[in-house]
Chain A
Amino acid sequence: MNLLEVKGLTKKYGDKLALDGFSFEVPKNSIFGLLGPNGAGKTTLIRILNQITQPDSGEINLDGRPLKPKDVELIGYLPEERGLYKSMKVAEQIIYLAQLKGLSKTVAKNRMHYWFDRLNIKGWGDKKIEELSKGMAQKIQFIVTVIHNPPLLILDEPFSGFDPVNANLIKKEILTLKDQGATIILSTHRMENVEELCDNIALIHQSKKVLDGPVKTIKRNYRSQTYEVGFHSESAEEITRQFSNNFKVQPAYFNDISAQAKLQVKLDDHQSTTSLLQFLIDRKVEITHFSELVPSINDIFIKTVEQHG
């Protein structure tokens, strides 16, 4: 079941095509990574989803029906460029923005205090934004985004500006929200976050979608039958020589405190991991490391973008 379905979204600014027939689906209760180089069209797409900008053509379905103006209340949006009223008090500001999202004043107040507790910022209500540090203001911004319990969250670089401790705190909150049923679109350049959090991704490049699907499937498609092997043996050099006669071998670099030999092995079509392991077992070595060399999203990102020029 998809929470969001986007079909053939096109947007032009003058002669410049910002989005070219963009389609994707976001399954309910998942985290969707929206990736792409700078200027690829991510911001345009996000603004269209938030109904800030109107698309020239294409359709958007939210929860199985066309997106309506009122649906802005179902979306929580954290823009990349953060901003709050500098001279307004934190509490007034949160309640005002929550009311604009359709909450009553009382509910907004209660939820605000719930989030103050969760993010360890009790007693900040009377401070003005201009008195807060950047990271502190980011927390307020996060509360503003999630306070109306939106089923769809659109987070643009949610971890920027946070120190590692607070970035982790926010990461946990995002996962908690997902557990509670929220669907999250995450736009970021930090690939380690994508690997860690996202179930599905789409890669935009030059206004077009060049890659999408579940992270696991994509990675599987990009695997290259390459394995890293580390072993311990008295006659490591001899075995390494035998190795290169039977397999395609390259020296490997990975952390292993006990391995005497570290090799990267690329299997042919008729070879299997079993034959590779059998080869090692026959030589009576102590295997200290064996892993498939899985392409990182970072590698896939760079490879795909370079392929498309």
Chain B
Amino acid sequence: MGNLSLIIKREYLARIKNKAFIIMTFLSPLLVVGMIFLVAYLSSLNNDEKKIIALHDVQELINKELPNTNQLGFVDFSNLPLDQAIMRADKEKLYGLLYVPAVEDAAISNPSIEFFAKEAPSSFLVSDLEQKISRIITDTNLANAGIDKTQLQQAQTKVNLQIEDFDGQSTSKLAGYVKMIFGGAAGYLLMMFIIIYGNMVMRSVIEEKTNRIVEIIISSVKPFQLMLGKITGTSLAGLTQFLIWLIFGGVLLLISSSLIAPNEPGIASAATPVDSDEIALLFQNIMALPLFKISLSFFIYFIGGYFLYSAIYAAIGAAVDSETDTQQFMFPIIVPLMLGIYVGFFTVIENPHGTVATVFSHIPLTSPIVMLMRIPFGVAWWEVLISLSILFASVFLVIKMAAKIYRIGILMYGKKPTYKELFKWLKN
């Protein structure tokens, strides 16, 4: 076995045998699922409280139609004058008072209905009330005008514009959201992986340096081999963790979603009802995504981005004596990553093929994130290839530069170097 593969193997085993790694790997999916359960439980707890609302509706415009549900109840205060009704609602600690003023015309076009409450009501409740009232009044108006409700519903058509680009690839508004979510998730995940595993590389370099074992190892192998082996071994550990999460989390979500669906009506009612047509459309849209292209590019951009940043992390680890000294050197790593995420979330979603998004998807420090976010919106192969060529050329260059700092840094003890000294090492 070659020395490089020996180092990769050791680094990989050292990472995955680490207790923190094992705990994180197996606990994270549980934690995520647990959080989902907790949020679902808490929101259902929140909704369990039945809200009673007083109604002041002298003409009984909406009175009879308002249904009592187990979340919302109504009491009629119409026999009292408005100010007294409000006082009483306050005294009885009711959630609020809905005031429907008297109208002269039978047909209500623009009713000025008011809602009084002690505290500002939740926007969810307000829109719920608005929807209910608007439906009742519309129905009343329709009946007054002599229009049959069912006939009207039949006559109504729902239009979903099938948007296609000039190449004939179809998109839609929903597809836009799906692309946004897929691209955003991929970009964000990439950033997280770069930070987590880059840090691992850095810590491992510092450990070897402070342990002084590095001198023994580089009396057997080239520092470059050690650095490359370390980065590669750690990236394999990262991919392992990712794979375990994918499988583990997928299975857990499958089980929990089948458990949660029938027993927890709270969640179902909290979400806006989606009819089966839309779910089918959603799946259709997901399937229509260039999934192969997305997965393949995630893989390639992960490797490129990870190696680019890990080399910098390794150089930083070699330059310092302890983790507390790394802060000042973190700047060149965190800024481009953050920039990538912000450009991704703001400009790509706004205009995936605009100038800013295009430029940032070619700059190597941001391209892994930004291009991943753009790809679901359809990016030509040649453009991806150009971006990848720039990325991998930079990876090569940065690894070479990092290796120079690494080679000198691992044998330097004591003084924390300045940026100026690091540049001197680069020229060496």
Interface residues of A in 41-87 (CB under 8 A from B): 47, 50-53, 69, 72-73, 75, 77, 79, 81-87
| Contact, CB under 8 Å: A81 / B212 | yes
Q: Mark B215-227, 1 if CB is under 8 A from A, else 0.
A: 1111111100000
Contact B411 A83 (CB under 8 A): no
Contact of A83 among B1, B10, B211 (CB under 8 A): B211
Q: Find out whether the CB atom of B216 lies under 8 angstroms from the CB atom of A77.
A: yes
Q: A47-B411, A96-B6 are in contact. Are A86 and B211 (CB under 8 A)?
A: yes
Taking the closest CB of chain B, its distance from the CB of A44, in whole angstroms, is 10
Interface residues of A in 82-106 (CB under 8 A from B): 82-88, 96-97, 99-101
**Nearest CB to that of B1 among chain A residues?**
A99
Given contacts A99-B1, A99-B6, A101-B220, contact A52 B211 (CB under 8 A): no
A97 with B411, Cβ < 8 A, contacts A84-B211, A85-B211 known: no
Contact call A79/B220, Cβ cutoff below 8 A = no
Given contacts A86-B211, A96-B6, contact A72 B216 (CB under 8 A): no
Q: Please indicate the chain A residues that have their CB under 8 angstroms from the CB of B220 in the complex.
A: 72-73, 97, 100-101
Q: Bound state CA distance, A47 and B221, in angstroms? A: 13
Q: Is the C-beta of A146 less than 8 angstroms from some C-beta in chain B?
A: no
Cα A82 to Cα B3 with chains together (Å): 22
Chain A residues whose CB sits within 8 angstroms of the CB of B7 once the complex forms = 100
**Assembly CA distance A51 to B213 (angstroms):** 16
Residues in chain A near residue B72, CB distance under 8 A: none
- The answer to whether B216 and A96 touch across the interface, beta carbons within 8 angstroms, is no
Q: Is B14 an interface residue (CB 8 A)?
A: yes
For B6, give the chain A residue with the smallest CB separation. Answer: A99
Given A52-B411, A83-B211, answer yes or no on A72-B219 (Cβ-Cβ < 8 Å): yes
Residue interface bits B184-215, CB-to-A below 8 A is 1, else 0: 00000000000000000000000110011111
In the assembled complex, the CB of A141 is this many whole angstroms from the nearest CB of chain B, namely 8
Kindly identify which residue among A51, A87, A88, A99 contacts B219, using a CB–CB cutoff of 8 Å. Answer: A51
Knowing A72-B220, A97-B220, A99-B1 are in contact, say whether A84-B6 is a contact too (CB < 8 A).
no
10 other A-B residue contacts (CB within 8 Å) besides A72-B221, A79-B219, A81-B212: A77-B216, A83-B213, A85-B14, A86-B211, A88-B14, A96-B6, A97-B216, A97-B217, A99-B6, A100-B6
Q: Which residues of A are in contact with B by a Cβ distance under 8 Å?
A: 14, 47, 50-53, 69, 72-73, 75, 77, 79, 81-88, 96-97, 99-101, 144
User: Can you list 6 A-B pairs with a CB-CB distance of less than 8 A?
Assistant: A73-B220, A81-B212, A84-B213, A86-B211, A97-B217, A99-B1
